[in-house]
Amino acid sequence: MRLLPLVVTVVLTVALAYYIYIPLPDGIQEPWKLMFLDAAFRATMHLASLKHWLGIDHYVTSIRGSTAAFEGTMKGLMSSESSGAVIPGVKVSDIDFAGIPVRVYEPPAGGEGHLRRGLMFFHGGGWALGSGKKGSYDETNRMVSDELNTVVVSVEYRLYPEVHFPVPYLDCLAAAKHFLSPEVLAKYAIDPERVAVSGDSAGGNLAAAVAQEISIDDSASVKFSVQVLIYPVLQALDFNTPSYIENQHIPILHRPIMVQFWLQYLGADLSLQPQMLVNNHSASQHSTITPELRSRLDWTTLLSQKYKKNHKPLVVEKGSHELLKEIPGLLDVRSSPLLAGPEVLAKCPRAYVVTCEYDVLRDEGLMYVRRLQDAGVTVTNDHYEDGFHGCFSFTMWPMEFDVGKRMLRGYINWLQNNL
């Protein structure tokens, strides 16, 4: 009987190791830390799905609850650490812009007549998770406000399942128009020639879409000076780009999860995921997807050979006739900024686009860089060869990654020199 506890311990240890371990490319630094992070994320997802199946809670709200509990624990642990989360002199206010909740970070007041930079930030989270008020987002915005003498406005747009597209986009657009109004800029002493829009992942999607709309809005007297897109989500017609295939099992954004995020955002039935994964929604027979439209996300011409390698495009001849009718948002440039025409892109502000080698979204970010450049827009692309999706958010103990800290510093440095 004394052997039983040992056997149980060994079995549980092996099972845990099996659950945690996943093969990762040699180029990823700190692999075990990423494995533990991914295992925690998967466990949270599995538990949330079980609770949803049992009718206890919606799986998204369950994930939010688990995330909030984790952040609360980390905040308690960090109370004895010198995290620097509270930066003296930065004033933080939770208010509304045009009825949309925002958090405003104001740097210490400067001398008479000195105008400050302005930056609007949209957080990531698949249009379902996250908050700009918490964790690394909050710390990053405090740093930017303090170091760059910038008024930062972080937007708390509404999320799935409470709302679907286009509500998050409309929330961000309304907040952006309010921020760019001469009255608000004057109130915060912001130079109207130095205002940026920024976001990561789904927030990068919203930042790109809002930047496009503001750029072509003739009624807007002030427009964004620059746009900063950190591994942005930009299209939903091709889930078989080289990066989607190569990185489909790389944490923390697995290919099926990204498709699920899209279906949720567009208010579609989640059972359509298998068809989307094989590009049945963008079959060549769909007359609404014209050759011109396809060319705007044709990675065979927009990517360099370094990323195309020996991959072949997956274009289904006869897919589902009804998918585009069921999900009209798939062709809406407000949800898929990569689909915008060259006449729109030509009016967009200078751009800083961050891409990661080990990210399913790598190629659409690179394609957007190419299309903006072809339209005459000045673009800086920082590509992190050891980067993975989400690393911009992992800059705080205990889940801090060196690549995340380098990415954060690159982000701040670029704003310092270009805004």
Active site residues: 201, 359, 389
Q: Which residue has the tokens 């930030």?
A: 121
- Give exposure, 53-77, as e/b (b: 16+ Cβ within 10 Å): eeeeeebbbbbbebbeeeeeebeee
Interatomic CA distance for residues 291 and 229, integer angstroms: 27
By the 8 A CB rule, do 125 and 390 touch? no
Which tokens sit at 357?
Answer: 């080698």
Going across the sheet that includes 91-97, the strands are 91-97, 100-106, 150-155, 116-122, 190-200, 226-230, 350-358, 379-388
Axis-axis angle for helices 59-78, 31-53 (nearest 10): 140
| Residues 104, 107, 112: CA angle, nearest 5 degrees | 120
Interatomic CA distance for residues 196 and 150, integer angstroms: 10
By the 8 A CB rule, do 323 and 272 touch? yes
Residue 50, helix vs strand vs coil: helix
Nearest CA to 118 out of 101, 104, 132 is that of 104
